[in-house]
Amino acid sequence: MVDFSKVWNWYSRESVQRAILEAAKNREVASIYREGNFGKRPNVLNHPGDIMQAVAEGAFSFHGSVEHWSNPMKLELGMMRQDQDALRTGWDVFIDPDIPDFELAKATVRQTLEALKDHGVTNYSVKFSGGKSFHIGIPFTSLPESINMQPSSAMYPELLQKTIEFLKWYMRDQLKEAFLAIDTPSMISQRVNKPLSDITNEQGLDPFKVVTMDVFSSRHLFRLPYSLHEKSLLVSLPLKPGRIDAFEKEMASPEKVKIDERFLVQNPGARDAQPLIVEAMDWASKNMKEVKDPVFREKRPEARKMMYISEDMFPPCIKYILENGLGDGKKRAVFILINFLRNMGWSAEQIEKRMDEWNNKNMPPLRSNYLRGQLRWHFRTDKPMLPPNCENENYYKQMGVHGLCQNLHDAAVKNPVSYPFRLLKSRSGEKPKKKAKPRNK
């Protein structure tokens, strides 16, 4: 049982409130509850009372957007790219190495910081995530103001992806050596709970199969500095880089923490990351064919044309899934939606865009890498599969959407794909064809 007074007492500290409000300035903020559920979005923190009101409602932690906005409360689900660009005033280079082993996580941070220093970056910061690893950030004011006549603020997430992919390329060999100095590949596989075959290739250990560094889509959130971690109840603690080696998780217990470091401090005019960005852009132009890594990398033979059916013709169960975020069942929903939309004659680009919009509603969203991997897998063939039938126990019923279509089941609709075609026939006055009865000979 969680001692809620511990949470209340932490956020009641004026120094904690000041630090969180400073970090939250011009960011979209979401409250996170004990089980990982998100509060309403968009939201902001402007006053100490905003923090305490959220805590009184059960919030354990606060997450802020990587992007800076002129007015975060104007953000909406499914906004067009140009509308987001108009609201976005900047974004921070946020690096989130995902690795469950604390010693390997420290090695990853050290090598990442060395790569940044090699490129002249001085205005970087580090914090303990409150969980298993660390976060590294470069503030927006360290980036060039514009690149090729385009404002840097409008180059998210493409420029972030180029920068992170370049850093991964630059530090790959050094990180591999750092990992092997800690343990053997077989022992590392046990440390990170992955099969040896999953973290090695022809050259031996692949460090970026041991640790992942994802690039995030718009409105991605990170745990704000001095927020508690909703599960560990440790503080997401900014650290001096020199303290990383000696740091232990217990040092982030609320009763031991002093508010004496900051994370992602904006320093107008610094522009110290300009050499890194220039080199990353040059590297990407030679090594990255597509920044976004689209679903189709190569031209496929022209497939049979299918009738395009718009969303207003979809059955209630599919409409509900698309219009509402899910807590559980997200991966099953991906399987349903991709196959259904393909059968509705939607293109890969249309499906990808709609799936991204849907995923932003989920609590929490699926990782973008997972979603794109599923899209690639389903589009490996030109002929789409059908989604699961309506009576499949493992899908619609367990997801709680089966009852929405009860009248359709009574009308013998066996698969969601059948519904729009029946609807089209009924609107045109054409009765569904009955199977011909065999003639008596």
273 and 129 inside one domain: yes
Last residue of a domain, one of 240, 255, 287: 287
Q: Is residue 330 situated within a structural domain?
A: yes
Q: Is residue 293 situated within a structural domain?
A: no
344 and 283 inside one domain: no
Q: Is residue 361 situated within a structural domain?
A: yes
Q: Is residue 295 situated within a structural domain?
A: no
Handedness of CA 253, 255, 261, 263 (dihedral sign): positive
129 and 269 inside one domain: yes
Domain assignment of residue 25, given as a range: 7-287
Q: Is residue 345 situated within a structural domain?
A: yes
281 and 165 inside one domain: yes
150 and 195 inside one domain: yes
Report the C-alpha gap between 432 and 318 in whole angstroms.
22
User: With contact defined as beta carbons under 8 Å apart, do 301 and 382 qualify?
Assistant: yes
Q: DSSP letter string over 232-264?
A: T--B--EE-GGGTTT--GGGGSGGG------SS
Q: DSSP letter string over 261-280?
A: --SS---TT--TTHHHHHHH
96 and 235 inside one domain: yes
Q: Which helix (H) or strand (E) holds 316?
A: helix 316-323
Last residue of a domain, one of 287, 320, 355: 287
DSSP state of 139: -
Q: Is residue 294 situated within a structural domain?
A: no
Predicted local confidence at residue 275, as pLDDT? 92
276 and 321 inside one domain: no
DSSP state of 397: I
User: With contact defined as beta carbons under 8 Å apart, do 379 and 295 qualify?
Assistant: yes
- Report which residue type is found at 205: L
Q: Is residue 153 situated within a structural domain?
A: yes
Q: DSSP letter string over 70-126?
A: S-GGG--TT--HHHHHHHEEEE-EEE-EE-S-HHHHHHHHHHHHHHHHHTT----EE
31 and 176 inside one domain: yes
Tokens of 245: 């080696």
Q: How many domains does the chain contain in total?
A: 2
Tokens of 110: 């050290």
Report the C-alpha gap between 35 and 136 in whole angstroms.
25
266 and 368 inside one domain: no
186 and 329 inside one domain: no
Q: What is the residue whose two structure tokens read 């409000």?
A: 21
DSSP state of 326: -
Q: Is residue 97 situated within a structural domain?
A: yes
Handedness of CA 95, 96, 98, 100 (dihedral sign): positive
> For each successive 10 residues of the chain (441 residues), what is the average pLDDT?
85 98 97 85 96 95 96 89 93 95 97 93 96 96 91 93 93 95 96 95 94 85 95 96 95 96 90 92 79 43 63 90 84 90 91 91 80 77 82 80 68 82 72 47 43
Tokens of 383: 């002929």
Report the C-alpha gap between 144 and 273 in whole angstroms.
7
Report the C-alpha gap between 339 and 332 in whole angstroms.
11
210 and 353 inside one domain: no
Number of neighbours of residue 422 by Cβ within 10 angstroms: 15
Domain with residue 175: its CATH number is: 3.90.920
User: With contact defined as beta carbons under 8 Å apart, do 379 and 328 qualify?
Assistant: no
DSSP state of 436: P
170 and 278 inside one domain: yes
Report the C-alpha gap between 279 and 308 in whole angstroms.
44
Report the C-alpha gap between 352 and 329 in whole angstroms.
19
